[in-house]
Amino acid sequence: MSEPYTIIIGLEVHVQLDTRSKMFCGCSTAFGAPPNTQTCPVCIGMPGALPVMNRRAFELALKTAVALNCEIPRFTKWDRKNYYYPDLPKGYQISQFDLPLSQDGYLPISDPKGRFEPKRIGIIRAHLEEDAGKSMHDEAAGVADSRIDLNRCGTPLLEIVSQPDMRSPAEAKAYLTELKLLLNYLGVSDCNMQEGSLRVDANINLHIDTPEGTVATPIVEVKNMNSFRAVERALECEVRRQYELWQQTGQKLGDVPKQTRGWDEASQTTRPQRSKEESSDYRYFPEPDLVPVTTTEEQVERIRRSLGELPAALRSRLQESYGITPYDADVLVNQGRNLVDYYIELAEGCGDGKLASNWVQQDVLRTLGEQQIEIAEFPAPATALARLLDMVRAGKITTSRGREVLAEMITSGKSAEEVIKDMGIEQVDDSALQDLCRELIEASPKVVAQVKQGRQKAVGALIGQAKKKNPNVNPARVREICLELIGNGH
Amino acid sequence: MSLIDQTATELLAALSSGRLSSVEVTGAFLDQIESHDSKVRAFLRVDAEAALARAEQIDRHRKNGKPLGRLGGLPVAVKDLLCTAGEPTTCASRILEDFRSPYDATVIARLKAADAVLIGRTNMDEFAMGGSCESSAFGPTHNPWDLGRIPGGSSGGAAACVAAGMAPLSVGTDTGGSIRCPAALCGVTGMKPTYGRVSRYGLVAFASSLDQIGPIARTAEDAALLLEVLAGHDPLDSTSIDLPVPRYSETIGQPLEGLRIGLVPEHFGEGLDAEVEAAVREAVRVYRSLGAAVSEVSMPHSKYAVATYYIIAPCEASSNLARYDGVHYGYRTDQIQMMAELEAQRKELQQAGDDAALEELDNALIRMYRRSRAEGFGPEVKRRIMLGTYALSAGYYEAYYKKALKVRRLIRQDFDRAFDGVDLILGPVCPTPAYKIGEKVDDPLSMYLFDLYTVSTNLAGIGGISIPCGISSDGLPIGLHLQAPTFEEERLLRGAHMFQKATDWHLSSSFAHISTVFEAVARRFCWSVQRAGLAVDPLGPTRGALSPPS
């Protein structure tokens, strides 16, 4: 890197856990219900109501923490984070302060394109808390009217705080992609950023090399990023901004209070968010309405055993067992466990991992994208596609004809054999092909003359004619035979 | 014997045998309320019609042979901080004056299921913060023994109504002595069970780690009956303990054999009224005569109990009371006036060109919070919110809250060690008999010190009971405090009953002291007045919009 600075990035990710009910009451967590219909005395903070922990949420949180290689303390407790806001009806959020349910883990990341070396991103802690409600500020027509929807209030959130270990926006994006993938494989969250199931806040500053030594710029927290792409762009923008600002002002870490900036998608810039005059004091103290939670060694072991094969292990296995490149393994694994299962069945069925990988990446993924469907809904089962690939491999059918067959299999839902029969595709006997080529050569003296003069390309005309007479001919074979016949003096 | 002079146990026997109907019993207590409560002001609300209708229904069920709950038609008064579906639960505060709970507290549900007749809601210190019932936003309750004196608090109405024959049974809450202190000052029996024995779900929290619901009654036997209904595990309260509830009323008659009683020398020192000390020492003599062995137990950390309590309780309160912010329910300041003021101030500063002050001006939301809370809470509540907020602030947490938690553990250890050698710890409940209304209003510290003997029970999470043990030369009742290890409510009740079999302090009547004044009950029920358009429909969705009052 030629820049005279090092980028320091840490991420805080809030993940909504995939539970049916809320963190401390029985209300539904389903997204999209009419405002204030999924509430009860507990989650709207009625006087006298008390929280009761959702065991399932705690288990999902533990599962994630174990998968993130975290230490799981035997004892964890709840704390109250006190602040006033209209969408926080109790006046405090139940969270975890000094004894989180997990700490000191890591998530390995790598880039198949080689933009950075494989590395581990440290996880400081992952803890559980409840979500607040949603405020909608309508300042139209001069009437400042705020509306509050408490449906989300009390939804279980897992906050995953990374070490400031990322050194580029690309690493930050890779971390998020890998984290999301892991959460998908674990089945703990749907990670839908649009619905707010996954939210990212980034902390970033620069360590600038100067003749007097390294100087750190003030840390900025960036919020309001609605996609991983936005995170990457916001961080890129922030790197430029902080470096320019340092060049102009020389401001160092500690010179100014920590700033919060929001990403503005429209202008592709970060803008300062209204900072509160006084720094917030959340007056954390142990939540007296909940009892501490103890976790046993056996529980953690049971969870560890139940994790299944996680993305990193799966990537290595695909490379080793099916001979595909790290890049291909990455593409497949990143599509989720179901697609990997499809691929494995296909590769086993046709006996060629690379061929299977090419077809999945090109044809299958394209169709999934075009039709906006999941692999489970893909009309051609892996076994059916495997039989088609068998024929392609054996040269019984050409790759391009194979693609047409697959397209028809997808449309009609028929097997490869049925489609081939319907389309009248048969393998052309080699002696018949010899006869056809001889016939064409005799009818095209001009082509023959050109080829003899060394213009082998001219044979293309013969291939075209052959395909017209019989669509099932293998163009490569036609070319081969024609050149051979012409060369032999025909 | 007049009907209201009978104990709950006697009344229940009469109800069960059909000698009395619930309508007769309920009616008798309602009559007493109507004739005397304008002086005592034990109740914030009485719905005589609803109570009688419920009594009638229970009578009908009994007549039809339908099995009835444990309290089969007995009237029960409830402190006004236990949520009851569709009804106001004011906590004696302006801020909840118009609040109606959308749900039943677990104890309310249990009382209903036990076929109690909920006769009315009793007065209290605002949010249970106080020991005299004077901090109620709706005026103080008067001690039936001397109307110029406090009934104790915070469950002042709950104890006074039993003392005045307005209810045979009453439910209170105790955070630092709030059941035992008024029980002592009103000459009735009141128990604070072990923390976790009774569900707190629906009890409007003051200090969550200390609050506990308990019975107030004429006798230990009656308290046993009511506790049987109140106690038990509740999945809605994570701090409630899953232990079976003994049939207290069945074992209460068994005296405690080989009883070992402990006295804490620290509790007989400076500040203890001589008459109270004499009464307590006389009570110890009674126990000795019943075969108990008496020894001294040391509680070296008890001198820190009040200081510890007045850190922990306000800290939790400051957080528990944050929800009363005028946004979703409860009192909200007059917004039109507020906005007009804000606009005027803004204009003034703009004209003066004072940009700095303009920048400092609270926005409408902050202003709404500040004004709603300033107008809705009384001075004692504000004092404790400020104490707690201060103690939890960055830089103070370690010095105050964390240290208080450590001392709390030491206090608990004192008890654990003491109970190695004794079965019950005996002592005074309050340092003096009831003082005069207004006497300590301007001296909160001396009021806090009044909790000296009771707060450590809550800090340790154990159980305690207050029973009458004497009457002062001024004719005021004196209470005896019994404390037992966790979940030994049965021991407390049997110990108290032993004493009540041997003495008759608990049967002394305050009624002679109440002048009979017939005044219509309905005149003083101010709670139903709607204020500032803050009606809350408990069944509708939460009102989210910050809309002006209609």
> Looking at this predicted complex, what is its ipTM?
0.91
Strand partners, B262: B295, B425
Q: Which of A285, A287, A294 to mutate to test the interface with B (most CBs of B within 10 A)?
A: A285
Tell whether B97 is covered by a domain.
Answer: yes
Q: Which of A98, A289, A291 to mutate to test the interface with B (most CBs of B within 10 A)?
A: A289
Question: Given this model, what pLDDT does residue A258 score?
Answer: 86
- Distance between CA atoms of B153 and B139, rounded to whole angstroms? 13
- Facing residue for B365 by CB, picked from A86, A277, A288: A86
SS3 A80: strand
Residue range(s) defining the domain that contains residue B526: 3-249+261-306+408-534
pLDDT of A490 above 70: no
- Facing residue for B323 by CB, picked from A53, A90, A147: A90
Cβ density class A362-376: b for 16+ within 10 Å, e for less: ebbbebbeeeeeebe
Residue B508 appears among annotated catalytic residues: no
- B378: tokens are 């009384």
Tell whether B331 is covered by a domain.
Answer: no
With CB atoms and an 8 Å threshold, state whether A285 touches B392.
yes
Alpha carbon distance, N-terminus to C-terminus of chain A:
63
CB A236 within 8 A of CB A31: no
Return the number of other C-beta atoms located less than 10 Å from residue A203's C-beta: 17
Question: Given this model, what pLDDT does residue A140 score?
Answer: 61
Residues A212-251: tens digit of each pLDDT: 999 999 999 999 999 999 999 999 999 999 999 999 999 9
- Facing residue for B542 by CB, picked from A44, A82, A289: A44
Question: Given this model, what pLDDT does residue B208 score?
Answer: 98
Share of chain A above pLDDT 90, in %: 68
Phi then psi dihedrals of residue B69, to 5 deg: -70, 175
Mean pLDDT of A359-371: 92
- A293: tokens are 């939670």
Q: Which of B238, B361, B401 to mutate to test the interface with A (most CBs of A within 10 A)?
A: B238
- B307: tokens are 């200081």
- Facing residue for B319 by CB, picked from A41, A80, A146: A80
List CB contacts (< 8 A) between A86 and chain B: 327, 365, 544, 546
| B106-113 and B220-230 helices, crossing angle to 10° | 110
With CB atoms and an 8 Å threshold, state whether B541 touches A283.
no
- A227: tokens are 């996609």
B237 phi-psi bin (left φ>0, alpha ψ -120 to 50, beta other): beta
Distance from CA of B448 to the nearest CA of A (A): 23
In DSSP notation, B110-164 reads: HHHHTT-EEEEEE--SGGG--SSSTT-TT----BTTBTTB---SSSHHHHHHHHT
SS3 A486: helix
Which candidate, B202, B195, B160, B152, places its Cα nearest to that of B177? B152
Q: Which residues of A touch B (CB under 8 A)?
A: 35-37, 39, 41, 44-53, 80, 82, 84, 86, 89-92, 144-150, 277, 281, 283-285, 288-291
- Distance between CA atoms of B383 and A406, rounded to whole angstroms? 77
With CB atoms and an 8 Å threshold, state whether B83 touches A47.
yes
Q: Give long-range contacts, CB 8 A cutoff, 24+ apart: A135-143.
A: A135/A85, A135/A86, A135/A87
Label the pairing between strands B75-79 and B117-122: parallel
Q: Which residues contact B533 (CB under 8 A, 6 or more apart)?
A: B549, B550
Distance of CA A20 to the CA centre of its chain: 23
Burial of B66 (0-12, 13-18, 19+ CB in 10 A): exposed
Distance from CA of A276 to the nearest CA of B (A): 11
**One pLDDT digit (tens) per residue for chain B, 550 residues:** 688 989 999 999 999 999 999 999 999 999 999 989 999 999 999 999 999 999 999 999 999 999 999 999 999 999 999 999 999 999 999 999 999 999 999 999 999 999 999 999 999 999 999 999 999 999 999 999 999 999 999 999 999 999 999 999 999 999 999 999 999 999 999 999 999 999 999 999 999 999 999 999 999 999 999 999 999 999 999 999 999 999 999 999 999 999 999 999 999 988 899 999 999 999 999 999 999 999 999 999 999 999 999 999 999 999 999 999 999 999 999 999 999 999 999 999 999 998 888 888 888 899 999 999 999 999 999 999 999 999 999 889 999 999 999 999 999 999 999 999 999 999 999 999 999 999 998 888 888 989 999 999 999 999 999 999 999 999 999 999 999 999 999 999 999 999 999 999 998 876 655 544 333 333 333 332 222 223 333 333 322 323 333 3
Return the number of other C-beta atoms located less than 10 Å from residue A428's C-beta: 17
With CB atoms and an 8 Å threshold, state whether A284 touches B397.
yes
With CB atoms and an 8 Å threshold, state whether A52 touches B103.
no
Pairs across A and B, CB distance < 8 A = 129
Mean pLDDT of A56-75: 97
List CB contacts (< 8 A) between A78 and chain B: none
- Facing residue for A48 by CB, picked from B205, B318, B401: B205
CB A339 within 8 A of CB A360: yes
- Distance between CA atoms of B145 and B163, rounded to whole angstroms? 8
- Facing residue for A36 by CB, picked from B102, B397, B544: B544
Q: Which of A36, A39, A42, A46 to mutate to test the interface with B (most CBs of B within 10 A)?
A: A46
With CB atoms and an 8 Å threshold, state whether B328 touches A283.
no
With CB atoms and an 8 Å threshold, state whether B328 touches A89.
yes
Burial of A135 (0-12, 13-18, 19+ CB in 10 A): middle
Output the furthest CA–CA distance in chain B (Å, rounded).
Answer: 84
List CB contacts (< 8 A) between B324 and chain A: 47
With CB atoms and an 8 Å threshold, state whether B315 touches A285.
yes
Question: Given this model, what pLDDT does residue A144 score?
Answer: 65
Strand partners, A81: A93
- B148: tokens are 């110029």
The owner of tokens 């569709």 is: B86
In DSSP notation, A124-170 reads: EEEEEEE---EEEEE-GGG--EEEEE-TTTT-EEEEEEE-S-B-SHH
* CATH code, domain with B20: 3.90.1300.10
- Cα–Cα distances (Å) from A58 to A152, A158, A344, B260, in that order, read 18, 9, 33, 46
- A136: tokens are 């909608």
In whole numbers, what is the pLDDT of chain A averaged over residues? Answer: 91
- Distance between CA atoms of B438 and A233, rounded to whole angstroms? 67
Distance from CA of A225 to the nearest CA of B (A): 27
Report angle CA A395, A400, A402 to the nearest 5 degrees: 65
Task: Give the chain B residue whose CA is nearest to the CA of A293.
Answer: B238
Distance from CA of A156 to the nearest CA of B (A): 18
Residues A310-320: tens digit of each pLDDT: 999 999 999 99
pLDDT of A292 above 60: yes
Question: Given this model, what pLDDT does residue A444 score?
Answer: 84
Residue B66 appears among annotated catalytic residues: no
- A62: tokens are 């533990």
Helix, strand, coil share of chain A (percent; to 5): 40, 20, 40
SS3 A223: strand
- Distance between CA atoms of A249 and B452, rounded to whole angstroms? 61
SS3 A141: helix
List CB contacts (< 8 A) between B544 and chain A: 35-36, 86, 147-150
The owner of tokens 């419920």 is: B54
Tell whether B387 is covered by a domain.
Answer: no
Label the pairing between strands A102-109 and A119-130: antiparallel
Strands (E) located in B32-135: 43-45, 75-79, 117-122
Burial of B471 (0-12, 13-18, 19+ CB in 10 A): middle
- Distance between CA atoms of B200 and A52, rounded to whole angstroms? 12
Catalytic residue (one of B21, B135, B178, B318): B178
With CB atoms and an 8 Å threshold, state whether B105 touches A145.
no
Phi then psi dihedrals of residue B256, to 5 deg: -80, 110
Tell whether B362 is covered by a domain.
Answer: no
The owner of tokens 């997204």 is: A31
List CB contacts (< 8 A) between A288 and chain B: 207-209, 239, 316
Q: What is the Cβ-side half-sphere exposure of residue A418, based on CA atoms within 13 angstroms?
A: 12
Amino acid identity of B306?
V
Which candidate, B127, B78, B136, places its Cα nearest to that of B106? B78
- Distance between CA atoms of A169 and A456, rounded to whole angstroms? 51
Which candidate, B512, B322, B315, B304, places its Cα nearest to that of B408? B304
With CB atoms and an 8 Å threshold, state whether B329 touches A46.
yes
List CB contacts (< 8 A) between B82 and chain A: 48
DSSP A101: S
Burial of B360 (0-12, 13-18, 19+ CB in 10 A): exposed
Distance from CA of B170 to the nearest CA of A (A): 19
With CB atoms and an 8 Å threshold, state whether B238 touches A149.
no
- B331: tokens are 């009192």
Residue B178 appears among annotated catalytic residues: yes
Task: Give the chain B residue whose CA is nearest to the CA of A24.
Answer: B236
Tell whether B105 is covered by a domain.
Answer: yes
Report angle CA A424, A427, A429 to the nearest 5 degrees: 130
Question: Given this model, what pLDDT does residue B403 score?
Answer: 97
- B304: tokens are 């820190």
Please report which helix (H) or strand (E) contains residue A269, including its range: strand A269-272
Q: How many domains does chain B have?
A: 1
Tell whether B382 is covered by a domain.
Answer: no
Q: Which residues contact B536 (CB under 8 A, 6 or more apart)?
A: B98, B99, B100, B329, B330, B543
> Selecting from 3.30.230, 3.40.50, 1.10.10, 1.10.3470, what CATH number does the domain A430-487 have?
1.10.10
Distance of CA A281 to the CA centre of its chain: 36
Residue ranges of the domains in chain A?
A: 5-298, 309-423, 430-487
Question: Given this model, what pLDDT does residue A280 score?
Answer: 76
Q: Which residues contact B285 (CB under 8 A, 6 or more apart)?
A: none
Tell whether B14 is covered by a domain.
Answer: yes
Catalytic residue (one of B21, B22, B132, B154): B154
Which candidate, B130, B170, B129, places its Cα nearest to that of B42? B170
CB B549 within 8 A of CB B533: yes
